Structure 1
């Protein structure tokens, strides 16, 4: 990313429409049937742990994290992580990921889960969750369920359904 002047900022409510358009362009309408999106239906992501990537005034990427429970254990669900296609493979996604993980650790979170590509996310420490240890609402490829411990041993003994942390749900 030597040729980009990239700025990573915490997401603000003012970014919502720009980010939604970015998701629409990069993931298309099929994104709403994905298991991870089902978890996002009633739980807001945490702005202080969600970030945007900018080159000047151009939004080029976004990452969000939302509060979940795995069984009864609090965790974060990372995603979606998205980058405008012309800016992929230039370090934008990695910069967003590094910031999201660092801030989650700094704020005392112990576990982050995601549904994603293991070869990409393993570079920062995510590992496959053993098949059958956790479940998500709706269909999900078990090989794409990944976890990162932000504290040693944080995933020891953790299992069960992944569900929204309703204590953080928005009110209708």
Structure 2
């Protein structure tokens, strides 16, 4: 799938195991090594991304230039299901080329198609607001560990999906096989 709104040619693909080294190197370049200490990481550690919701963007040469994954989480006391988006990263030399936007749009569309009801993330509202994310429905939810509440955003894929959601997010979904925890982020 190409993002037709940009001059740079790229395509979004389902992530494969062959993409893991390139994805990890991209995440390190784009986000630094401190990325593994973020609160969101506590929800990803030891887990696999939600089935069918891990993507890479490749340029015309086939190089991985972007990545995004969505993870299964349980919402606080209600235990309702949601997805956690992240990390989203784009090759620093390709910033502002529409790759991040293309990945987010593709991930949201696939999550909706697969029947998921809500997507949460920690990020900048000026960036994610254009996709419909806001802090409006996260006021009674919390992330494990430190985070900035105003950066905790949500997008309901089904109206009312976050009504009554209260408490701290918990990891859910598929666990990684032993020895693969470093590849979770």
TM alignment of 1:1-172, pairs within 5 A: 1-46=5-50, 48-55=52-59, 56-71=61-76, 72-129=79-136, 132-165=139-172, 167-172=173-178
Q: Deviations over 1:41-75 (max 9, x none)?
A: 12111351111101122111000111111120111
3-state SS of paired residue (1:127): coil
Map Cα deviations across residues 114-137 of structure 1 (whole Å, 9 max, x no partner).
000001001010011467511111
SS at match of 2:108: helix
CA–CA distance in 2 between the matches of 1:68 and 1:107? 15
**What is the total number of aligned residue pairs between the two structures?**
171
User: Which structure has greater strand proportion?
Assistant: 1
Q: Which has the higher helix share?
A: 1
Stretch deviating more after TM superposition (92-101 or 31-40): 31-40
Please report the TM-score for the alignment, with normalisation by the length of structure 1: 0.94
* Structure 2 portions without partners, runs of 5+: 179-185
Change (3 A) 1:109 1:81: same
- Distance in 1 between the 2:43 and 2:6 partners? 36
CA RMSD of aligned residues (A): 1.5
Tell me, yes or no, if the aligned pair for 1:63 and 1:82 is still in contact at 8 Å: yes
What are the ranges of 5 or more consecutive residues in structure 1 without an aligned counterpart? none
Distance across 1 between alignment mates of 2:35 and 2:176: 21
Q: CA–CA distance in 2 between the matches of 1:46 and 1:102? A: 14
Superposed displacement of residue 90, structure 1: 1.2
Instruction: Using the TM superposition, give the Cα deviation of residue 170 of structure 1 relative to its aligned residue in structure 2, in angstroms.
Output: 2.9
